[in-house]
Amino acid sequence: MRPLLLHLDHFGSFREPVTVDFSDTEYFALVGPTGAGKSTIIDAICFALYGTVPRWGREGAVAHALAPSVTAGKVAMVFDSDGRRYGVVRAMVRDAKGAVRTKEARLDELDPAAPLQEAFEAVVRPLAEGENVTAEAQQVTGLEYRFFTQCVVLPQGRFAEFLHAAPRERQDLLVQLLDADVYERIRQRAARDEETARQDASFARDQLAKLSGATAEAERELTERLAALRRLAGTMGADLDLLRARESDIRLAEQERAAVAERQTVLAELRMPAAVPTLASARRAAAESVETLAADVARLEADEHEAYEALTALGDRGAPRAALAALDARERLETEAARARAAAASAAEALDGAAGEQAAAEQALATAEEQRERLRDAHAAAHLVNRLEVGLPCPVCRHPVAELPRHEPPADVRAADRALAGARDRAQRARAACAKAETSASMHATQATRLESELAALPAPGDRAELEARLAAIAKADELAAQARDAVRAARAALERARSEADKVARQAESAWRALEAARDRLLVAGAQDDPPPPLVREDLHRAWTELLAWRDRAAQAARAALAEREERLDQARARLAADRGRLAERLAEHGVHAPRDASPDQLGAEVAAAVARADSALDRLKEERRRAADLENRITMKEHEAKVAHELALRLRANAFERWLCAEALAVLVASASDTLRELSDGQYELALADKTGDIEVIDYGEAGMRRSARTLSGGETFQAALALALALSGAVARRLDSIFLDEGFGTLDPATLDTVATTLERLAAGQERMIGVVTHVPALAERVPVRFEVTRDGKGSHVRKAGIR
Ligand SMILES: Nc1ncnc2c1ncn2[C@@H]1O[C@H](COP(=O)(O)OP(=O)(O)OP(=O)(O)O)[C@@H](O)[C@H]1O
Ligand SMILES: [Mg+2]
């Protein structure tokens, strides 16, 4: 790990952002007064990588990163490690309760070609964030925090940690520095490889055991068998042809036997239709029945004709019916006319009465009117009397009134008015009744006159009895004609049935003839050529059938004899085939080919061909197995060898023995190298050595006759010398990948001569240009000899850094 850029912002005593550039320096000093912030810069390197700082004590105590008055801060660093470039950033905040927490932490691999000032932006790949950053930083530096602070950063006041460390602790550090744990991993891997190789060998042996039959002897036997089978296949063609000929003989014999059997079936199936024996008599009876019924129909048709003639002679029913109806109408009209005459007479009579009543009413009215006029006059006269004066002219007669007449008071005129109104009303009603009676009398008289004239216009009436007798005679004749018609219909239906019966019998006969002909035709086809069925005699169906059945019985007997003879021939053909096939099967069996007893020639041929193919592929398989067996033997040898090598390796590395040996060797080299440096620094007084029993580092004091004592007994300055010698040896001789070392103080304990030696040693180390050396010192004599100085100062605004004094 070699820092290139370190950025601090509100970290520790630094209150303003500052970037320290280490990129162009191999050897530098951090100088400045007490409390200026020198150690804080070294802390920042540590904090950037591991998130903690040695002087805080407890790991992870991030609270100390920020000064109490600061709310947020940040540390970032660009560094190289093992040929790659990295950027690490940690930012902290203080929350409302005053607790400090990490706000952001990240570690990225950076592009080494990018300019340093832009390095943080040139991210090649992110490596870790948050809590994972410390573990990843450990991977990148190759050192745990506890070892980083022993051999990269030697913190102020704690530089002797490695010198005083327990042997076990030192061993752990060396294991990390030397990556010595790789040997344990190699051992474990070797043990696994041995196990795998043994399993492989065992598996291969199992496989080989399964191939025990794959021998050269087996291959020779199989090759011979294949050759024998091929010879058999080449020579069995003639045998198969013979078998095929035998099979053909059998097929022919089977066909012949089947033909005879077919003939037997045809003969056995021959049956005379059941109706044949009675068909002739049935036909005759049907013909007779038709004849009789036809005669009946003819006779009944004549009867029907006669009945219809008689009916026609009686004439139509219409005329007598119309005459009867006219008679009925006349009688109704006469009744009506009589009724009308009576009504007219009674109406005339009523009119006379009404006219009398009207005249009386009129008379009464005139009387009432007159009486009322008189009464009115009387009232007028009585009224006038009152105005008359004797001597004055009378207004009625114009004569002077002589004496005033005396008038009785007249009756009340209102009674006369009522009597007059009653008379008027009665006269009115009498007038209306008379007018109504007049209308009714006139109407009845007119109707009576009309009916009379209608009656007079009618033709002379017929004789009712005579008309009714005519209609009865027609009805009788009609009934007789209907009966005759029904009888004809019934006879015709019977005739129809008889004819259809006759047709049915005729069809049966026809069908029986056809059956006979068809049976005869089949017999002609299936029958023996030398004994055809008898010729057909067309006249008599029954006889024809009988003759054919008689012939059938003879032919059936001949067919039975023929069938026995064909079966014997077939048995002989089959026996010949079985004998020939048996002989061939024996030959095949001699070659290990077993065919079914009734195998066909093609099957036998196929069996032999299949046996050849099987033997062929078995031979191929065997050859393949022999090849595989050889491979397996080679594999077993190889795997056993591999297992042996892995076993040896694991044995050599067992129980960390090699790791311990390696670390012990490294420690011896380290102590020897440090011893040389210490001798130089102490001007020949001290050397270092390892205690045999405890493994502690001891000093050999040549001031005390080379006696050994514990390193813990050294003075402060001597301890620093010894620790520095060890740190330089670690950095230089043992772990070349530790490409930087930072020493914080301790130089103040050295006398000028020793300081000079230390300075020279550091300069020599820096001149090698393999590692960066940073020292923190108050000692001007040392500081002046360092080529690059970072002057750290502190004022009210916090710490500041300035690069100065480049020689
Ligand atoms: N977490 C912190 N917050 C605030 N101030 C701090 C913190 N840690 C240290 N300081 C102060 O910062 C100042 C610088 O400390 P630092 O240890 O860097 O000084 P120095 O330059 O190394 O001094 P010396 O020469 O005495 O070793 C000191 O005053 C110290 O008390
Ligand atoms: Mg300090």
User: 466, 497, 516: which is the final residue of a domain?
Assistant: 466
Q: Which residues contact 17 (CB under 8 A, 6 or more apart)?
A: 7, 8, 9, 10
pLDDT confidence of residue 597: 82
**Whether residue 35 has its Cβ less than 6 Å from ligand 1:** yes
**Whether residue 36 has its Cβ less than 6 Å from ligand 1:** yes
Considering every ligand atom shown, identify the ligand nearest to the alpha carbon of residue 66 and give its number. 1
Q: How far is the CA of 792 from the centre of ligand 1 (A)?
A: 11
Q: How far is the CA of 38 from the centre of ligand 1 (A)?
A: 8
> Given pLDDT bands bounded at 50, 70 and 90, which one contains residue 472?
very high
Q: Residue 98: which region, alpha, beta or left (left: phi > 0; alpha: psi -120 to 50)?
A: left
Q: How far is the CA of 707 from the centre of ligand 2 (A)?
A: 36
**Mean pLDDT for all residues in the chain:** 89
- For helices 657-681 and 716-729, the axis angle rounded to 10 degrees is 130
Residue located nearest, by CA, to atom 11 of ligand 1: 13
3-state secondary structure labels for all residues of 20-84: EECCCCCEEEEECCCCCCHHHHHHHHHHHHHCCCHHHCCCCCHHHHCCCCCCEEEEEEEEEECCE
| Ranges of H-type helices in 179-275 | 181-210, 216-235, 237-269
> Given pLDDT bands bounded at 50, 70 and 90, which one contains residue 728?
confident
Q: Give the span between the Cα atoms of 754 and 442, in whole angstroms.
A: 188
Q: Residue 651: which region, alpha, beta or left (left: phi > 0; alpha: psi -120 to 50)?
A: alpha
Domain range for 63? 1-152+738-807
Q: Is position 640 within any domain?
A: no
Question: Could you give the percent of the chain with pLDDT greater than 90?
Answer: 56
Considering every ligand atom shown, identify the ligand nearest to the alpha carbon of residue 64 and give its number. 1
> Given pLDDT bands bounded at 50, 70 and 90, which one contains residue 20?
very high
The yes-or-no verdict on residue 738 having pLDDT over 80 is no
The yes-or-no verdict on residue 735 having pLDDT over 60 is no
The yes-or-no verdict on residue 310 having pLDDT over 80 is yes
**Whether residue 13 has its Cβ less than 6 Å from ligand 1:** yes
Which DSSP string corresponds to 121-169? G-EEEEEEETTHHHHHHHHHHTS-HHHHHHHTEE-TT-TTHHHH--HHH
Residue found by looking up tokens 């932006």 in the block: 121
Which residue in 477, 491, 212, 442 sits closest to 344, CA to CA? 442
> Given pLDDT bands bounded at 50, 70 and 90, which one contains residue 656?
low
SS3 state at 106: strand
Which residue in 33, 59, 32 sits closest to 149, CA to CA? 59
pLDDT confidence of residue 607: 92
pLDDT confidence of residue 158: 79
Q: Give the span between the Cα atoms of 561 and 602, in whole angstroms.
A: 36
**Whether residue 798 has its Cβ less than 6 Å from ligand 1:** no
Stretch 93-120: mean pLDDT:
93
Q: How far is the CA of 795 from the centre of ligand 1 (A)?
A: 12
* Among 8, 9, 13, residue to substitute to test ligand 1 (most atoms within 8 Å of Cβ): 13
Q: How far is the CA of 553 from the centre of ligand 2 (A)?
A: 146
Q: What is the pLDDT of residues 599-632, one digit of tens each?
A: 899 999 999 999 999 999 999 999 999 999 999 9
The yes-or-no verdict on residue 529 having pLDDT over 60 is yes
pLDDT confidence of residue 733: 59
Please give the biggest Cα pair distance in the chain.
225
pLDDT confidence of residue 734: 57
Ligand 1 atom nearest the C-alpha of 776 is: 22
751: domain CATH number is: 3.40.50.300
Q: Which residues contact 532 (CB under 8 A, 6 or more apart)?
A: 524
The yes-or-no verdict on residue 72 having pLDDT over 90 is yes
Q: Is position 526 within any domain?
A: no
* Among 40, 100, 776, 782, residue to substitute to test ligand 1 (most atoms within 8 Å of Cβ): 40
> Given pLDDT bands bounded at 50, 70 and 90, which one contains residue 640?
very high
> Given pLDDT bands bounded at 50, 70 and 90, which one contains residue 170?
confident
SS3 state at 237: helix
Residue located nearest, by CA, to atom 12 of ligand 1: 13
Residue located nearest, by CA, to atom 4 of ligand 1: 67
Residue located nearest, by CA, to atom 3 of ligand 1: 67
Q: Is position 527 within any domain?
A: no
Residue 648 to residues 163, 191, 193, 642, 659, Cα–Cα distance (Å): 37, 9, 11, 10, 16
Q: Is position 715 within any domain?
A: no
Q: Is position 33 within any domain?
A: yes
Give the number of domains in the chain: 2
> Given pLDDT bands bounded at 50, 70 and 90, which one contains residue 555?
confident
Ligand 1 atom nearest the C-alpha of 30 is: 21
The yes-or-no verdict on residue 179 having pLDDT over 80 is no
Q: Give the span between the Cα atoms of 120 and 688, in whole angstroms.
A: 45
| Ranges of H-type helices in 591-701 | 601-652, 657-681
Considering every ligand atom shown, identify the ligand nearest to the alpha carbon of residue 779 and give its number. 1
Q: Is position 337 within any domain?
A: yes
> Given pLDDT bands bounded at 50, 70 and 90, which one contains residue 178?
low
User: 466, 490, 513: which is the final residue of a domain?
Assistant: 466
3-state secondary structure labels for all residues of 266-331: HHHHCCCCCCHHHHHHHHHHHHHHHHHHHHHHHHHHHHHHHHHHHHHHCCCCHHHHHHHHHHHHHH
Q: Is position 230 within any domain?
A: no
Q: How far is the CA of 176 from the centre of ligand 2 (A)?
A: 28
pLDDT confidence of residue 688: 95
pLDDT, greater one: 807 or 35: 35
**Whether residue 39 has its Cβ less than 6 Å from ligand 1:** yes
Residue located nearest, by CA, to atom 28 of ligand 1: 35
> Do 41 and 8 form a contact (C-beta atoms < 8 A)?
yes
User: 440, 466, 492: which is the final residue of a domain?
Assistant: 466
**Whether residue 37 has its Cβ less than 6 Å from ligand 1:** yes
Stretch 456-460: mean pLDDT:
87
pLDDT confidence of residue 737: 66
> Given pLDDT bands bounded at 50, 70 and 90, which one contains residue 209?
very high
**Whether residue 64 has its Cβ less than 6 Å from ligand 1:** yes
Residue located nearest, by CA, to atom 7 of ligand 1: 12
**Whether residue 777 has its Cβ less than 6 Å from ligand 1:** no
Q: Is position 538 within any domain?
A: no
Q: How far is the CA of 28 from the centre of ligand 1 (A)?
A: 20
